[in-house]
Amino acid sequence: LGLNDALSIKNLGVVGSGSAGGGGVLAIDDMSFHECLRLDETSKTAAFKLYAPDGEFTLLTYRITSPFRPPIIVTPFLETQGPNGLDYIVRVRADFPAEKSAANVLLTFMLPPWASSVSVETAASPVAAAKPLSPGRAEVDRKTLSVAWLVPKLPGGSEVLLRAKMVLPTHTRASACDLSEFGLVKVNFEMPMYLVSGLQIKYLDFVHAGKTAPNKWIRYLTQSLSYVGRWT
């Protein structure tokens, strides 16, 4: 198994060379791997040998602490609608290549306890010359004042927008509200054939004694685990 040439792994002493997609060497702070995996000490790059056990298993995990480009950018802002009307707007931008797409993008967030008569609407801004883009569907749980917004497919470079229209109590002025009163936005999504870190499998070769050649294929998938926007 061979990974990027432009890859440095601190805890294994691997020092990369070349350029990771023109962005320099990809630095991994630490990497841990399955007991079947051994670093090929004859190679100066991230090359490994393994004797694969039966069944499915996790081959390696890694951690990167250096800054990276978030694939989905969430931007909130407020618009006043008269003295007692307020719109909470959440704009979502797909900040990755146009040929890629995020799937099942789900955003959930809470509205302030003083919000009443809440309604939501969505809109989309697709990439130029692209097919029409669905802004997804949003629902409000009026008992908990929580909003769930699902966008089935979000192509790279496109934007979708949610507007939560609220009526404020008579003693509360819209101009006095700010984003700190709104809770965090949780984002869940999947991105097939895309890795945010830039880690890539350069090659995967099999050495075996059997007569049947193995079925070899590689599939990339990025999944969000703790992807949260906080406003102050």
- For residue 22, what pLDDT is reported? 46
Mean pLDDT of 110-131: 83
Whether the per-residue pLDDT at 17 is higher than 60: the answer is yes
Percentage of the chain beyond pLDDT 70 is 90
What integer pLDDT is reported at residue 195 of this predicted model? 86
Mean local confidence (pLDDT), 91-119: 92
Q: In this model, does residue 23 exceed pLDDT 60?
A: no
Instruction: Give, in order, the Cα–Cα distances in Å from 22 to each of 6, 17, 18, 25, 147.
Output: 10, 12, 9, 9, 40
CA torsion angle for 51, 203, 216, 102 (degrees, to 10)? Answer: 120
Q: How large is the average pLDDT for residues 42-65?
A: 81
Helix, strand, coil abundance in the chain, percent, nearest 5: 5, 45, 50
> 101 vs 28, which has greater pLDDT?
101
User: What contacts 3, CB < 8 A, 6 or more positions away?
Assistant: 45, 46, 47, 48, 199, 200, 201, 202
Cα–Cα separations (whole angstroms), residue 163 to 16, 119, 138, 183, 199: 46, 8, 10, 15, 37
Higher pLDDT pick, 141 / 53: 141
pLDDT digits (tens, 9 = 90+) for 185-219: 999 999 998 888 888 888 888 877 567 777 778 88
pLDDT given at position 21 = 45
For the chain, the average pLDDT equals 85
Q: Write the CB contacts of 228 (distance below 8 Å, at least 6 apart in sequence).
A: 184, 185, 186, 187
Higher pLDDT pick, 2 / 75: 75
Block residue for tokens 């079947």: 36
Res 135 pLDDT > 90: yes
pLDDT at 157: 93
Q: Tell me, what's the pLDDT at 77?
A: 92
The pLDDT, as a whole number, for residue 140 is 94
Q: How confident is the model at residue 171 (pLDDT cuts 50, 70, 90)?
A: confident
- Higher pLDDT residue, 150 or 206? 150
Global pTM? Answer: 0.81
The pLDDT of residue 43 is: 60
Which phi and psi angles does 176 have, rounded to 5°?
Answer: -90, -5
Whether the pLDDT of residue 18 is over 90: the answer is no
Query: 156: which DSSP letter?
Result: T
